[in-house]
């Protein structure tokens, strides 16, 4: 690995959000080091202009080695996926705490100027998310703590750790709570994909196969908001560069039911499918939406790309992947 200094280290740079973030940072003329545990052949995007490294950042030595010389750090690295993965891999999700811990220690050791931690709406108390007509979640709703088991607990703990590294050591930590990020160049099959990509894949497969019948997890009445990846990339940089260390929602406030999400994608595809509801499948909380009052107050901004616009781009991309995969 080159020992030269870089403007930005993106931990998890081979991931879905990481790939888009690296692209945007390079476009700004910044020097970027992207590090990911996956072999490069499995990275969602590989940018030749970045310094790309394969390493397990949960190992302390690797975290220290790859953080050396970085001015800013985006800590996106995590073992995660959609609801099916999260509900069935709680221990694996909790073990990300090693990456979170070692990256904070490394950032402190190497005098990193700014450290961004990507948290999640999964930190919010489950008892506030029991109704599809959910009241949008404010940042204060994370306490008293009752987050998503496994993944949510790790995120909330690591948020606190980032806060204490700021208070005790002066490391300038910033925290964003992502709400359901989606878009092209992401996971669309294999079990770790989230609802928007899974929806696009099922409809695309129905188009390609001619079998207009799909399975939906739950009764389809559960609600979510989904943020297009370009808004996520913009919001993350805004939070990193901002003056506020308060964890803030970075998510769309456009609420939709899963049934309506399928109807939207069916419209793009020009088909209607028979729906088989799998009531015993993982479906997470009943309703979740982002209250954007705080991000508007602090940054004068909120994610604005409409679900229809983002989902249409995502569907076109996923459709192409489905076609390619079928030869």
The residues that are catalytic are: 151
Helix 258-269 to helix 307-325 angle, to the nearest 10 degrees? 60
CA dist 157 and 173 (Å) reads: 14
Instruction: Show the tokens assigned to 42.
Output: 């499995």
Segment 88-97 long-range contacts (CB within 8 Å, at least 24 positions apart): 88/282, 89/150, 90/149, 90/150, 90/151, 91/150, 93/150, 93/151, 93/154, 94/150, 94/151, 94/153, 94/154, 95/58, 96/58, 96/154, 96/158, 97/154, 97/157, 97/158
Q: Specify the long-range contacts of residues 263-268, CB closer than 8 Å, at least 24 apart.
A: 264/307, 264/308, 264/311, 265/199, 265/200, 265/203, 265/311, 265/315, 266/203, 268/203, 268/311, 268/312, 268/315, 268/316
């Amino acid at each position: 690995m080159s020992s030269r200094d870089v403007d930005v280290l993106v931990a998890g740079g081979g991931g879905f959000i990481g790939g888009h973030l690296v692209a945007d940072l390079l476009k700004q003329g910044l020097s970027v080091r992207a590090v990911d545990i996956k072999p490069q052949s499995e990275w969602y995007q590989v940018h030749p202009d970045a310094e790309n490294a394969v390493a397990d950042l949960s190992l302390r030595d690797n975290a220290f080695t790859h953080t050396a010389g970085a001015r800013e750090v985006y800590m996106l690295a995590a073992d995660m996926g959609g609801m099916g993965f999260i509900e069935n891999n709680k221990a694996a999700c909790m073990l990300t705490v090693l990456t979170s811990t070692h990256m904070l220690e490394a950032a402190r050791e190497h005098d990193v100027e700014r450290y961004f931690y990507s948290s999640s709406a999964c930190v919010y108390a489950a008892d506030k998310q029991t109704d599809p007509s959910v009241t949008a979640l404010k940042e204060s709703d994370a306490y008293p703590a009752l987050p998503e088991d496994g993944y949510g607990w790790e995120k909330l703990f690591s948020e606190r750790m980032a806060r204490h590294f700021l208070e005790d050591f002066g490391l300038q930590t910033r925290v964003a709570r992502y709400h359901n990020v989606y878009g092209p160049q992401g996971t669309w099959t294999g079990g770790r994909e989230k609802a928007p990509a899974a929806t696009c894949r099922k409809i695309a497969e129905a188009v390609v196969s001619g079998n207009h019948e799909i399975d939906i997890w739950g009764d389809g009445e559960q609600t979510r908001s989904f943020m297009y990846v370009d808004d996520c990339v913009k919001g993350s940089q805004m939070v990193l560069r901002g003056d506020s260390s308060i964890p803030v929602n970075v998510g769309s406030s456009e609420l939709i039911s899963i049934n309506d999400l399928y109807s939207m994608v069916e419209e793009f595809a020009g088909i209607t499918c028979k729906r088989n509801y799998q009531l015993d499948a993982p479906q997470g909380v009943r309703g979740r939406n982002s209250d954007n009052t705080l991000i508007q107050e602090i940054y004068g901004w909120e994610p604005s790309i409409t679900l229809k616009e983002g989902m249409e781009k995502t569907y076109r991309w996923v459709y192409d992947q489905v076609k390619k995969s079928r030869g």
